Amino acid sequence: MKLKIALVCGGYSGEAEVSMRSAAFVESMLDRTKYEVYKVEITPQYWRYQHLEESYLIDRNDFTLTIDDRKISFDLVFMMIHGSPGENGQLQGYFEMLNIPYTGCGSLTSSLTMNKAYTKAVIDGVEDMYLARSIQLLEENQEAAETLIAENLRMPLFVKPNSGGSSIGMSKVTEAARIRQAVDLAFDTVNTGRQVLVEEFVTGREFSVGVYRFGKEVEVLPATEVITEREFFDFEAKYTPGLTEEITPADLNDEQRDRTERIVKEIYRRLNCRGLVRIDFFLEEGTDRFYFIEVNTIPGQTQTSFIPQQIRASGRTEKDFYAAWIDSSYNYFRPNTEK
């Protein structure tokens, strides 16, 4: 019998559009001989399934769908919401209470990793991994931001929302006169936690790599190197064709590749990740040190996103990879789920 899959997308943040594009690609890759797929859009106004001209609302009491007097209960949720409420643990906790299996990290890990400062605190000390010097700004010290930054950090700087993705609200600051504008922009970015992280800029090569566990062992996909003509890999560079060169698999020597895989596996384990995540990092110019940037627990899945590129570079198809992801997620929850 086919598994009933709720492919959940949309969300409450500026990443909703990207989420919809990711979901459309995933939907096109799911094997319809194995799965009955319902793309569920979640917005602040409604949770719905749209089929042709008909719209059906989700019953939030039990996350079910009724179509022509047929009540549909889902076997698994495929999480494709980047940002709030799909990547920050809120929906994960909801599905855990309802005992509905889902793909991706658990509620605690998802909540933790959406906070960049907290994530860095947990993984600090991983062998051969470095963290850029940083400070975390709260609303109560927003007015003193310029003084705090001047006393603790050196230019250039990255200023970004402490909880958020797709580089929305992020700025690179090279002079003190721009600090206030960058801090205010980061604080004003919606649904990002009203906290700001300020980090010293690391000069070097930028990479992104998928890390997953579908069985007992943590495995690593081929890394992608990101090269852009812009000051940094911002929202426009990520989603505007032609602004970025992405090389998959990345040109890394054996030592760099082995070191990277060892570090990202340990980060994955320390954060108690589940399923597939993406870890971004720099190799610093001159030292070749591995500098952690962030972990993305619901990475983009459009045709040109890093993870699909890496899946193809590994010699697999997205169709087979997603099937393995769904099966492992379903089996993870199965002992605690009544069927």
290-311 residue pLDDT tens: 999 999 999 999 998 999 999 9
Q: Is 39 helix (H, G, I), strand (E, B) or coil?
A: strand
* Structure tokens belonging to residue 134: 């940083």
- Write down which residue in 167, 200, 233 finishes a domain: 200
Total domains in the fold of the chain: 3
pLDDT at 185 exceeding the cut of 90: no
Q: How far apart are CA 100 and CA 249, in angstroms?
A: 36
Please report which confidence band the pLDDT of residue 241 belongs to, taking 50, 70 and 90 as the band edges.
low
Whichever domain contains 170, its CATH number is 3.30.1490.20
H helices of the chain, where?
16-29, 90-98, 107-113, 116-123, 145-152, 179-188, 235-239, 254-270, 306-313, 318-333
Q: For residue 320, is it within any domain?
A: no
Q: How far apart are CA 216 and CA 20, in angstroms?
A: 31
Total-model pTM: 0.89
Residue 226, strand partner residues: 206, 246
> Do both 119 and 224 map to the same domain?
yes
> Do both 87 and 120 map to the same domain?
no
Highest mean pLDDT among 77-81, 152-156, 165-169: 77-81
> Do both 12 and 70 map to the same domain?
yes
Q: In the prediction, which pLDDT does 213 show?
A: 98
* Phi and psi, residue 34, nearest 5°: -110, -25
Please report which confidence band the pLDDT of residue 325 belongs to, taking 50, 70 and 90 as the band edges.
very high
> Do both 61 and 205 map to the same domain?
no
> Do both 26 and 161 map to the same domain?
no
Give the pairing of strands 290-296 and 275-284: antiparallel
> Do both 127 and 268 map to the same domain?
yes
Range of the domain at 84: 3-103+325-336
Please report which confidence band the pLDDT of residue 98 belongs to, taking 50, 70 and 90 as the band edges.
very high
Q: Is 128 helix (H, G, I), strand (E, B) or coil?
A: coil
Q: For residue 151, is it within any domain?
A: yes
Q: In the prediction, which pLDDT does 339 show?
A: 38
Span 223-247, average pLDDT:
68
> Do both 124 and 250 map to the same domain?
yes
